[in-house]
Amino acid sequence: MKKILFTRYLVEQQRDHGHIPSQLRLLLEVVARACKGISQAVNKGALGGVLGTAGSENVQGEVQKKLDIIANEVLIEANEWGGHLAAMASEEMDGIYVVPNRYPQGEYLLLFDPLDGSSNIDVTVSSGTIFSVLTRPEGASGVEEKDFLQPGHQQVAAGYCVYGPQTTLVLTVGDGVAMFTLDREQGSFVLTEENVRIPEDTKEFAINMSNMRHWDQPVKRYIDECLQGKEGPRSKDFNMRWIASMVADVHRILTRGGVFMYPWDKREPEKAGKLRLMYEANPMAWLIEQAGGAATNARQRILDLQPTKLHERVSVVLGSKNEVERITRYHTEA
């Protein structure tokens, strides 16, 4: 079988469909290269002295792991000099990072969660990098935070790289979803799956069950019906999978279907949910939709939400279409 490397895939996509201009291709190659570096650091684990906490907190008040900071730095250093970007935003930085004056500024904006599921790293469970690419609004001279506040349907590329037993990069540029596995001997991402499709029905759900007492009634109703199995209204037995790395949970769903939920709950009622709209929910929602699934905030399509701030949070329900539609209906009916 002939090996199609990431670069070749991008070049051929551009040639055949014309939706990866050369600056975007450069951006995606740079992100892929940064992910290889992060994968190396994650793999070294205790040998690299990279495990444990860094002793600081991010803007969301979460304790930062050493690897959260390392991954953030790797992505910034890789991306700032190429001339393809105007600015970046990250879970691990309070404000936006404008490309320094000494480098040329490009037309793209890059958002990322440098390391999703970082609480799992010390126990060698999968984690990953999530990214979203937007175009800078036309005519703007400088670049400001408000330039990033675009709904998810305006993304021009989105993806993630999961660091697990394999390192796999998953990408959409709006023409389906492709997966690339890192060939460590060669140091290249190789195309291993194209036209990824999510089955419309599933018997597998992912939610942090320990939060059950804080959930809203429609979420309780849905999970309760699943738990009743064959004897209940769903007339089938369900299985639960919860990795606590969104990136790994989404990867499972893209691979074999399922539904993932991180809904609003009563613990912090003023916040919409735990996950962040711009660099977690939006890129994942687009990938899921591109693979034939659905993604809502339990009421509306995630990709249509107008962000109001960079680190905005959102409820997330995504995965197999019929299941997401059911959960969304339970909410809108309530």
Binding site for Mn ion (CB under 5 A): 91, 113, 115-116
| Residues 87, 98 contacting (CB under 8 angstroms) | yes
Q: Which region, judged by CB under 6 A, interacts with ligand AHG, from 73-81, 110-118, 190-198, 264-272?
A: 110-118
* 156, two tokens: 């021009």
Q: In angstroms, give the least distance from the CB of 116 to ligand AHG.
A: 4
Which residues in 272-291 contact ligand AHG (CB under 6 A)?
274
* 68, two tokens: 């959260």
Which residues in 70-99 contact ligand AHG (CB under 6 A)?
91
Query: With respect to Mn ion, which residue has the nearer C-beta, 69 or 177?
Result: 69
Q: In angstroms, give the least distance from the CB of 141 to Mn ion.
A: 32
Q: In angstroms, give the least distance from the CB of 112 to ligand AHG.
A: 10
- Asked if 246 interacts with ligand AHG (CB under 6 A), we say yes
Question: Residue 249: CB partners within 8 Å, gap ≥ 6?
Answer: 206, 241, 242, 243, 258, 260
Exposed, middle or buried: residue 32 (CB in 10 Å: 0-12, 13-18, 19+)?
A: buried
Can you tell me which of 10, 26, 50, 116 binds ligand AHG, judged by CB under 6 A?
116
| Residues 131, 158 contacting (CB under 8 angstroms) | yes
Query: Which of these, 36, 72, 291, lies nearest to 189 by C-alpha position?
Result: 36
Which residues in 45-64 contact ligand AHG (CB under 6 A)?
62
Please count the residues of the chain.
334
**Which CA distances in Å does 144 have to 148, 190, 310, 319?**
8, 36, 11, 33
Exposed, middle or buried: residue 275 (CB in 10 Å: 0-12, 13-18, 19+)?
A: buried
- Asked if 328 interacts with ligand AHG (CB under 6 A), we say no
Q: Which region, judged by CB under 6 A, interacts with ligand AHG, from 13-21, 104-112, 148-156, 240-248?
A: 240-248
Determine the straight-line distance between the first and last CA of the chain, rounded to whole angstroms: 52
Contacted entry of ligand AHG, Mn ion, none for residue 262, CB cut-off 5 to 8 Å set by kind: ligand AHG
Contacted entry of ligand AHG, Mn ion, none for residue 208, CB cut-off 5 to 8 Å set by kind: ligand AHG
| Residues 183, 273 contacting (CB under 8 angstroms) | no
- Asked if 208 interacts with ligand AHG (CB under 6 A), we say yes
Q: In angstroms, give the least distance from the CB of 244 to ligand AHG.
A: 4
Q: In angstroms, give the least distance from the CB of 316 to ligand AHG.
A: 9
Q: In angstroms, give the least distance from the CB of 206 to ligand AHG.
A: 8
Cα–Cα distance between 85 and 169 in angstroms, integer? 21
DSSP string, 18-79: ----HHHHHHHHHHHHHHHHHHHHHHHGGGGT--SEEEEE-TTSPEEEHHHHHHHHHHHHHH
Query: With respect to ligand AHG, which residue has the nearer C-beta, 117 or 319?
Result: 117
* 147, two tokens: 């330039």
Q: In angstroms, give the least distance from the CB of 45 to ligand AHG.
A: 17
- Asked if 294 interacts with ligand AHG (CB under 6 A), we say no
CA dihedral 71, 131, 268, 214 (to 10 degrees): -100
Query: With respect to ligand AHG, which residue has the nearer C-beta, 72 or 245?
Result: 245
Cα–Cα distance between 177 and 195 in angstroms, integer? 5
Binding mask 160-199 for ligand AHG (x = CB under 6 A): ----------------------------------------
Nearest-CB residue for ligand AHG: 246
- Asked if 262 interacts with ligand AHG (CB under 6 A), we say yes
Q: Write out the residues near ligand AHG by the rule CB under 6 A.
A: 62, 91, 113, 116-119, 208, 244-246, 262, 274
